[in-house]
């Protein structure tokens, strides 16, 4: 929760690509209920970093090739974000798994937005999985991250019927507005302290 309801909740964001969900946070909750204090990426060329810098938010990159293993990379990334005061983190299109050590640095939790109605179609290429399965209903899930792959407690979901969907790109385009609405709402609840407790890590 923010201090007395006045100070914005300090939030880290991790992103690997375009950063449209980051932009949704910057356009809605940043500077209000929450403050994005740092954006980290595993890809130096990620468009998300440009979006963050344009908003005056500190950025840093942590490419896997620069670290001996995932644990070392996550330790460095968590230290950089915690140094900036982040109490929670949001994965906004971050495409790497996180170690328990990273998750344990954020007691308020780590949130992820996933383009399926979990527990259906976890992991990578969720929309492609759903299209191949012949799904007619697609959706978006915001959930806490735990040590599994998209197995953490669900915070919010929203569905859309696309009975004729055959093109994953078209489905992703239809899901994007749902993500951009659902994620900021979840972050507002996180900042207000009205979400369930996040999962504990070892």
Active site residues: 114
> Which token pair is 76?
């460095």
Quote the crossing angle between the two packed helices 126-133 and 168-192, to the nearest 10°: 130
Burial class (CB in 10 A: 0-12, 13-18, 19+), 195: buried
Cβ 113 vs Cβ 94: under 8 Å: no
């Amino acid at each position: 929760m923010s201090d007395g309801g006045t100070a914005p909740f300090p939030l880290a964001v991790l992103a690997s690509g375009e950063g449209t969900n980051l932009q949704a946070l910057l356009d809605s909750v940043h500077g209000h209920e929450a403050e994005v204090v740092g954006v980290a990426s595993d890809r130096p060329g990620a468009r998300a970093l440009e979006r963050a810098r344009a908003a005056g938010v500190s950025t840093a990159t942590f490419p896997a090739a620069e670290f001996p293993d995932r644990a070392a990379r996550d330790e460095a990334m968590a230290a950089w974000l915690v140094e900036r005061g982040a109490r929670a983190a949001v994965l906004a299109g971050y495409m790497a798994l996180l170690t328990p050590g990273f998750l344990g640095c954020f007691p308020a939790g780590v949130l992820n937005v996933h383009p399926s109605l979990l527990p259906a179609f976890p992991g990578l290429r969720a929309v492609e999985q759903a299209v191949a399965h012949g799904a007619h209903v697609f959706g978006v899930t915001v959930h806490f991250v735990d040590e599994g792959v998209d197995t953490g407690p669900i915070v919010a979901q929203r569905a859309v019927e696309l009975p004729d969907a055959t093109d994953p790109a078209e489905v992703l385009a239809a899901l994007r507005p749902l993500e951009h609405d659902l994620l900021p709402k979840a972050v507002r609840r996180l900042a207000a302290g009205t979400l369930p407790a996040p999962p504990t890590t070892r």
